[in-house]
Amino acid sequence: MHVVLAGITATRWLVQEHPRRQSSEPGWRGGPFARGFDVRDEAVQPRVQLTTNAQHAPLIVDGALLWTYVLVMTGGEVERAALIALLRRASTGWQQITAEVLARGSALRVLDDAVSQRDTLFPETGLVDALVDEAHRLLDSLAMTGIDVRTIFDATYPPQLRDIRELPPVLFTQGRTREDARAIAVIGTRQPTDRGADIARRVATMLCTEEINVVSGLAAGIDTAAHEATLAAGGRAVAVIGTGITRYFPAENRLLQRRIATDGLVISQFWPDAPPHKDHFPMRNAVMSGYAAATVVIEAGERSGARIQTRLALQQGRHVVLLRGLLANEWARKLVDRPGVAIVDGPDDLTSAVDRVLRARHDELAERQDLADVTIA
């Protein structure tokens, strides 16, 4: 029998069973998930951690049956699972958890402090192991259903979200992931005029012609018009939704969401089965505005959620493009003189404004990279 552990053949390992030892004992090289096992291979041991909560299977090394092995997780997988476990037990907001994890550089450390109760007379020594194992199984089950999980520890986490204050610790996605640096959000009211819906379609089609990805929120009205026009033009549609990724809101957009999940990308920051909630949509707006280089507002009244996204976009250092007709609203007039805000007369004038935005965003990111290179050097 030939067993592969985390991509490393079993013949490179000598695994011996021994009484349970704590990771704090002298000479013990394993982390908290190597308790109960001794992995002796200096070259590869730091790349793998073992958990004690899994089904046994025969392990053959150099033709001899040593004993059995358990579930294997790399260090990165342990951190991902620990983050999910933290969020599932969260008694505080996800933003606070994210800040603490980033500050300490490890979700596992934060989880261990949160649940191990080291200051008590009866610490729960096995609870962290069990929680991480459970979270890892959840991640596996989601992957089997076609839901990708992208955490702040992953290289596939959208880089444009890492520089916003509201970055979610985890994203659940369906669809094709790619670099969306050339992405523009097109948003507006759920109850547009016929003219507004037509403008949204024209704007989305024009962006696709320029090979610009179109981001919207899959809501009724302007969002739906923008998504449908993007798909019709053969462009890339990105939907940032305010529910769990297995939910459809509004219900009539079920087929549209499924098509975007096939041909584009659907993003949610909420647990997959989370129903719609009034607090979710401003959070969704923060992710959408951060994901896109700019937000284009087509139609939006005084109470429209689009107002929230324009405010968030400017706070995040993103650009906002307003159609001139919006100046009939007081909220739009207050933004006219703000840095980063452009006013256009219609879809025909939008091309030059978007081009300026994308160039500015490109230069900004290049400058950051140059500063990072200087710092590293």
Give the mean pLDDT of the chain.
Answer: 80
Q: pLDDT at position 48, please?
A: 34
Q: Is 118 helix (H, G, I), strand (E, B) or coil?
A: coil
pLDDT (mean) for 279-285 = 95
Under a CB-based contact definition with an 8 Å cutoff, are residues 331 and 345 in contact? Answer: no
In three-state secondary structure terms, 334 is coil
- pLDDT one-digit tens code per residue, 121-136: 555 657 888 999 999 9
Dihedral of CA 100/94/297/327: which sign? negative
Per-residue pLDDT, averaged over 265-274, amounts to 97
pLDDT at 120: 55
Percent of the chain with pLDDT over 70: 75
Q: Is the pLDDT of residue 26 over 80?
A: no
pLDDT at residue 273, rounded to an integer? 96
61-107, pLDDT tens digit by residue?
Answer: 444 443 333 344 666 889 999 999 999 987 778 889 999 999 999 99
Rounded mean pLDDT of 217-221? 97
Closest CA to 318 of 273, 281, 287, 349: 287
Looking up tokens 């968030």 gives 312
Which is nearest to 76 in space by CA: 152, 146, 9, 127? Answer: 152
Q: Which CATH code of 3.40.190.10, 3.40.50.450, 3.10.20.30, 3.90.180.10 fits the domain covering 173-366?
A: 3.40.50.450
The residues pairing with 320 across neighbouring beta strands, listed in sequence order, are 295, 341
Give me the residues paired with residue 266 across strands: 174, 239
Answer for the pair 104, 110: CB distance below 8 angstroms, yes or no. yes
User: Given this model, what pLDDT does residue 206 score?
Assistant: 95
CB atoms within 10 A of CB 309: 27
Tens of pLDDT, residues 171-215: 999 999 888 889 999 999 999 999 999 999 999 999 999 999 999
pLDDT at 17 over 50: no
Q: Under a CB-based contact definition with an 8 Å cutoff, are residues 223 and 188 in contact?
A: yes
Is-contact 81 139, C-beta < 8 A? yes
Whole-prediction pTM:
0.79
Could you give the CA distance from residue 185 to residue 179 in angstroms, rounded to a whole number? Answer: 15
pLDDT, greater one: 91 or 292: 292
Q: How many residues does the chain have?
A: 377
Mean pLDDT over 133-145 rounds to 94
